Amino acid sequence: MITLRSHLEGRWVEGASPQTLVNPATEEPLARAGSAGLGLAAALEFARRTGGPALRALTFAQRGHLLQAMADALQARRDELLDLAVRNGGNTRSDAKFDVDGATFTLSAYAELGQGLGEARFLVDGEGISLARSPRFHGQHLMVPRRGVAVHVNAFNFPAWGLAEKAAVALLAGVPVVSKPASSSAMVAHRIVEILIEKQVLPPGALSLLVGGPGELLDHLGPQDVVAFTGSSDTGARIRVLPQVIRNSVRVNVEADSLNAAVLGPDADPGSETYEFFLKDVVRDMTQKAGQKCTAIRRVTVPAAVADRVRDDLVDRLRTITVGNPAHEGVRMGPVATAGQLEDVRRGIDLLARDGRLVHGEAALRPVGVEPGRGFFVGPVLLEVEPGADAPSVHSHEVFGPVATVVPYSGGATEAAEIVARGRGGLVSSVYSEDAAFTSQVVMELAPFHGRIFLGSAKIAEMSPGPGTVLPLLVHGGPGRAGGGEELGGLRGLAFYLQRVALEGSRPTIEKIVKDGG
Ligand code: NAP
């Protein structure tokens, strides 16, 4: 069994009190990682003092080159990373590609944005403004890199993409990163950082890694630092109220739970292209990464008139999903990540079943390619609720596994949207319809409650990755339950790492500052 080390202050260091990382399909121990006793205050200071100045000295185009070099280095070791994701993440090869290729794609997308920004080192925000009758008194907003460190705390489900999507934006902004992957699946993130260090892709201090528990990592946050967190609402809420976060006005971005809904329009008749597109996306979201995607469809919101048909069609498709050890040929869905996760999912299914009826479950689940009783397996589970039922748990409890509930609506766009909004804020919801008026009404009703809305139409079916895929040029995040955060969105994502400052003074002086660096 190997021991994973953290990369702090420019060197590999081993922490004490390690936890054991396992293969969730076989429960075979794979690695140990601990963080006790590591000098985390010094690690943050090293990033601020060494990584920060090195990044800020570069132009956006040069930082973009670094991101492309990161993408190339990971692409060159893609197979190795995919194998690790299968072993430590319980990912099928296709799940693993989703994570690892998502990481390289996002790095490349931000590399290109960096090229577009060219030789500047900070952003000019909007046009200059005349502040008096005379044009000499002038105003201009700039956005400059903060002088702190970006602490990135990630969830277990996307160890590669989670690290890369956050790091790409911070590094392009000119802010050094300390990344902490979730402990249970840290092997992929650890290997990524090893590859980048071996290749010497980044300047010292630009990217550090902490494996093992968070320890006192967040105890040392200062006023120029930021925290981007992805994980459960409970942990997010704890981070927000840390005394040093409040005292130092540390910026915190939280990406948390979400009860994403997919609304089927009344015009999408069973058998139509739009209907088939909808079913395909629901099944993919339920089974990809064993449903452990923050963007996965949890509430299948359909006209009451076709609810039985949708249920039966989904059950037919879910029956064809082979569950088992993802290292085996033909397995379409692997296990969930940990024993604790399995327990949570089972508890969640019981909770949902109080408000709904289980129509497809795991009664006869026999995962292939594993010894009986081994691994953290749960089969795809579909529930349904009666039209008009309150079903509070369905609208308030995220089961982070291969689980969805069919929720019928009767009264058109307004009722469909009202049902979705009961989720109290989401990352993404979707509407599948060819009826522009229905789509537009649902979109406008849902927009205040979501970070992204996916418009599922047969016209885009061929090229669409579905609502569950986060794209670097669109924002990711959502209000309320989803954490209130916002990541990515192309250049929008940089704002979190930059300080907006208004310059007020003589026009030639301000214009010179802008010309020299903006
Ligand atoms: P979690 O238990 O909240 O853990 C997330 C991360 O926080 C892990 O790295 C964890 O470290 C760390 N952590 C735990 N306690 C902490 C503390 N007191 N201070 C600082 N860090 C702490 O969540 P999870 O089980 O990994 O992830 C599942 C949840 O994430 C789901 O609810 C899902 O919806 C959400 N999620 C959201 C998004 C999104 O983009 N919105 C994406 C993916 C997942 P250890 O692993 O070492 O404990």
Residues 19-78 have pLDDT tens digits of 999 999 999 999 999 999 999 999 999 999 999 999 999 999 999 999 999 999 999 999
Amino acid at 249: S
What's the burial of 321, exposed, middle or buried (CB within 10 Å: 0-12/13-18/19+)?
A: middle
The rounded distance, in Å, linking the Cα atoms of 271 and 277 is 10
The rounded distance, in Å, linking the Cα atoms of 152 and 177 is 7
Residue owning the nearest CA to atom 32 of ligand 1: 232
Check residue 516 and give its pLDDT.
85
Query: From the CB of residue 433, how many other CB atoms can be counted at a distance below 10 Å?
Result: 23
Residue owning the nearest CA to atom 31 of ligand 1: 232
Check residue 420 and give its pLDDT.
96
Kindly give the distance from the C-alpha atom of residue 155 to the centroid of ligand 1, in angstroms, as a whole number. 4
Average pLDDT, the chain: 96
Kindly give the distance from the C-alpha atom of residue 441 to the centroid of ligand 1, in angstroms, as a whole number. 35
Check residue 518 and give its pLDDT.
60
- Ligand 1 pocket list (CB less than 6 A): 153-157, 180, 182-183, 213-214, 218, 230-232, 235, 238-239, 255-257, 294, 398, 400, 427, 482-483
Q: Answer whether residue 175 shows pLDDT above 70.
A: yes
The rounded distance, in Å, linking the Cα atoms of 297 and 457 is 17
Task: Report which secondary-structure segment, H or E, holds 135.
Answer: none
* 493 neighbors 310 (Cβ within 8 angstroms): no
304-317: pLDDT as tens digits: 999 999 999 999 99
Residues near 195 by beta carbon (within 8 Å), at least 6 away in sequence: 73, 74, 77
Residue owning the nearest CA to atom 41 of ligand 1: 255
Q: How far is CA 196 from CA 142, 164, 202, 512, in A?
A: 32, 12, 7, 38
Among 283, 280, 369, which Cα is nearest to 324's?
Answer: 369
Q: Which of 17, 99, 294 to mutate to test the pocket of ligand 1 (most atoms within 8 A of CB)?
A: 294
This model's pTM is above 0.85? yes
Per-position DSSP letters for 1-49, written without gaps between them: -EEE-EEETTEEE--BSPEEEE-TTT--EEEEE--BT--HHHHHHHIII
Q: Which atom of ligand 1 is nearest to the CA of 235?
A: 3
Q: Which atom of ligand 1 is nearest to the CA of 236?
A: 3
Check residue 362 and give its pLDDT.
66
Kindly give the distance from the C-alpha atom of residue 61 to the centroid of ligand 1, in angstroms, as a whole number. 33
Angle separating helix axes 159-173 and 186-198, nearest 10 degrees: 50
Active-site residues, by number, are 255, 294
Sheet holding 19-22, edge to edge: 2-4, 29-33, 19-22
Backbone angles phi, psi at 124, to 5 degrees: -95, 125
The rounded distance, in Å, linking the Cα atoms of 360 and 355 is 15
Kindly give the distance from the C-alpha atom of residue 156 to the centroid of ligand 1, in angstroms, as a whole number. 7
Backbone angles phi, psi at 239, to 5 degrees: -65, -45
Q: Answer whether residue 184 shows pLDDT above 80.
A: yes
Residue owning the nearest CA to atom 9 of ligand 1: 182
Residues near 276 by beta carbon (within 8 Å), at least 6 away in sequence: none
Kindly give the distance from the C-alpha atom of residue 351 to the centroid of ligand 1, in angstroms, as a whole number. 22
Backbone angles phi, psi at 355, to 5 degrees: -100, -15
pLDDT class of 365 with cuts at 50, 70, 90 = confident
Q: Answer whether residue 364 shows pLDDT above 80.
A: no
Helix ranges (DSSP H) in 174-302: 186-198, 233-240, 243-247, 273-287
Per DSSP, the three-state class of 403 is strand
Kindly give the distance from the C-alpha atom of residue 20 to the centroid of ligand 1, in angstroms, as a whole number. 18
Q: Where are the beta strands (DSSP E) in 123-268?
A: 123-130, 137-145, 150-153, 177-180, 207-209, 226-230, 251-255, 261-264
Q: Which of 88, 161, 218, 232 to mutate to test the pocket of ligand 1 (most atoms within 8 A of CB)?
A: 232
Angle separating helix axes 93-117 and 186-198, nearest 10 degrees: 50
Residue owning the nearest CA to atom 10 of ligand 1: 182
263-296: pLDDT as tens digits: 999 999 999 999 999 999 999 999 999 999 999 9
Give the gyration radius of the chain's Cα atoms.
24
Per-position DSSP letters for 426-486, written without gaps between them: EEEEEEE-S-HHHHHHHHHHHGGGEEEEEEE-GGGGGG---TTPPPTTSEE--SGGG-S--
Q: Which of 17, 32, 157 to mutate to test the pocket of ligand 1 (most atoms within 8 A of CB)?
A: 157
How remote is the C-alpha of 368 from its chain's centroid? 29
Kindly give the distance from the C-alpha atom of residue 322 to the centroid of ligand 1, in angstroms, as a whole number. 28
Q: Answer whether residue 517 shows pLDDT above 90.
A: no
Among 265, 389, 382, which Cα is nearest to 318's?
Answer: 382
Q: Which atom of ligand 1 is nearest to the CA of 156?
A: 26
**352, 355, 359, 360 alpha-carbon torsion, rounded to 10°:** 0
The rounded distance, in Å, linking the Cα atoms of 513 and 501 is 13
Q: How far is CA 443 from CA 9, 79, 436, 489, in A?
A: 48, 40, 10, 19
The rounded distance, in Å, linking the Cα atoms of 55 and 150 is 13
62-117: pLDDT as tens digits: 999 999 999 999 999 999 999 999 999 999 999 999 999 999 999 999 999 999 99
Backbone angles phi, psi at 454, to 5 degrees: -100, 125
